[in-house]
A and B are shown apart, each in its own frame.
Chain A
């Protein structure tokens, strides 16, 4: 049992860092941030994961970044730098999208929110904040729009799970029943006026993300009030550990794992968010070529048949133990109670029902290709 390494003092902290530590959270370094991985007092990763599936869980996701594009050419700029069709967005609507390199590979995946007539907010990943902002700024210079990095302005709190709506409704004057999934609104939250409320998340569950001012006192007040109000719904604080297993069950991509600067849109299976028929965008030409050339590898879902847990980076082999691909994310799935993984393999191994081996600590463990997402939330009756 090697020692668990201590965190270094130079890394970044969210406004809620002291609150997490006070709650006894186990902290880890994630993409340069000192973040809670789990709250043992809340029951740990499995309990946190299942709270989100069955009730509600609360996450500090302030490490996520935010870029605002505002001005007469804001739509044209967003269209130029992202693969989904932002012209389809009504005011108050959001969409999953991605920023691409000219090669058709990923700068990052993003959620594009249309906040006003010519006003867009891109929510980006923690590990790619500076890279994304510089890239967006450099590639939108020809457009009449202001590009602002608002990453340090917000404490972003995710309230995730089927009871998230009941919880948040107690703290806001906004009518949440009128806010559909992937729509945003503004309202008072915990007495703070004009707070951005988005019905979005990264858990494959219904839920909300609220954007409150990033000062420590306000952030702590909101966090504590959300948890306190959430008690009757069984709300517990959740860390990055549960966030990862939740998104994995939902087959949601994580930058640096399923998507990166060497993986293209088709390989990642994200074609449905890429609108080739919209006006030209960065990466489009390369994607056109790649589509004609055909896939060399594709992302699949694996379920372990034999005993063993596939982990990020483990090799995937065919029946003759020839290396054919690699695992991008793998874990025990706390709600499904199975060992699952996402992996890149050649298309000939991608059919549902195909079997492969995952080299788990020098042992080939059999796994089966299954359809994704592994978990889909039940439709409301």
Chain B
């Protein structure tokens, strides 16, 4: 699956799509593939402040539990409630299944994140 070029990526396998002062966050296709069948997603409530590099929730497959790391700091503006009942949507379309919408604290924070080409290279080097 191609990695959208208008997303930025973390080495912890989250994606973020920025639109002005707000952003949408999810996990990458590589991440869902590594996890396998996703059966549980824990996300923060709207209004929660999250900090870049810190965990903001978790995602669980049948086999594994993984933390979600914030690609940027900000306030949670919205949560994709559909994932609570249909977490398997992430397996079907990781880049279309957003988890949270953020109001960014500092859009400049995103400068250090990976481009789609860099992320693809990173995943290949990781042996994934």
Contacts and interface: CB of A to CB of B under 8 A. Distances in A.
Contact of A307 (B27, B34, B84): B84
B12 A2 contact: yes
Contacts of B59: 1
B65 interface: yes
A124 to B, nearest CB: 24
Contacts, number: 62
Contacts of A44: 36-37
Give me the 4 closest cross-chain CB pairs, A-B, nearest first. Answer: A1-B13, A332-B39, A45-B62, A46-B37
Contacts of B66: 1-2
A37 B37 CA distance: 12
Nearest to B32: A1
Nearest to A3: B126
B44 to A, nearest CB: 13
A245 B62 contact: yes
A45 B36 CA distance: 8
A331 to B, nearest CB: 6
A40 interface: yes
Given A26-B36, A44-B37, A1 B67 contact: yes
B84 A361 contact: no
B48 interface: no
A331 B62 contact: yes
Interface in A1-25: 1-4, 6
Contacts of B126: 3
A6 B127 contact: yes
User: In the complex, which range does the number of interface residues on chain A fall in?
Assistant: 20 to 34
Interface residues of B, number: 28
A234 interface: no
B7 interface: no
23 contacts: A1-B13, A1-B27, A1-B34, A1-B59, A1-B66, A1-B68, A1-B69, A2-B12, A4-B128, A6-B127, A26-B36, A40-B36, A44-B36, A46-B39, A241-B36, A241-B62, A241-B63, A309-B39, A311-B65, A332-B40, A339-B40, A361-B42, A361-B65
B120 interface: no
Interface of B: 12-14, 27, 31, 33-37, 39-40, 42, 58-63, 65-69, 84, 126-128
B14 A45 contact: no
B65 A37 contact: no
Contact of A46 (B40, B62, B128): B62
A1 B29 CA distance: 12
Contacts of B58: 361
B12 A1 contact: yes
Interface of A: 1-4, 6, 26, 37-38, 40, 44-46, 241, 245, 307-309, 311, 331-332, 334, 339, 361
A309 B39 CA distance: 9
Given A4-B128, A44-B37, 12 more contacts: A1-B34, A1-B69, A2-B66, A37-B36, A38-B36, A40-B33, A40-B36, A46-B62, A309-B65, A311-B65, A332-B40, A361-B65
Nearest to A241: B63
A127 B36 CA distance: 25
B93 to A, nearest CB: 16
A334 B62 contact: yes
Contacts of A307: 40, 42, 84
B14 to A, nearest CB: 7
Which among B12, B63, B68 has the highest number of chain A CB atoms within 10 Å?
A: B63
Nearest to A311: B65
A250 B89 CA distance: 28
Contacts of B68: 1
A351 to B, nearest CB: 28
B17 to A, nearest CB: 17
B103 to A, nearest CB: 23
Contact of B31 (A1, A46, A241): A1
A353 B128 CA distance: 45
Contacts of A331: 62
B65 A45 contact: no
Nearest to B41: A307
Contacts of A309: 39-40, 60, 65
Contacts of B13: 1
Contacts of B27: 1
A241 B39 CA distance: 14
B63 A45 contact: yes
A309 B62 CA distance: 9
A332 B84 CA distance: 14
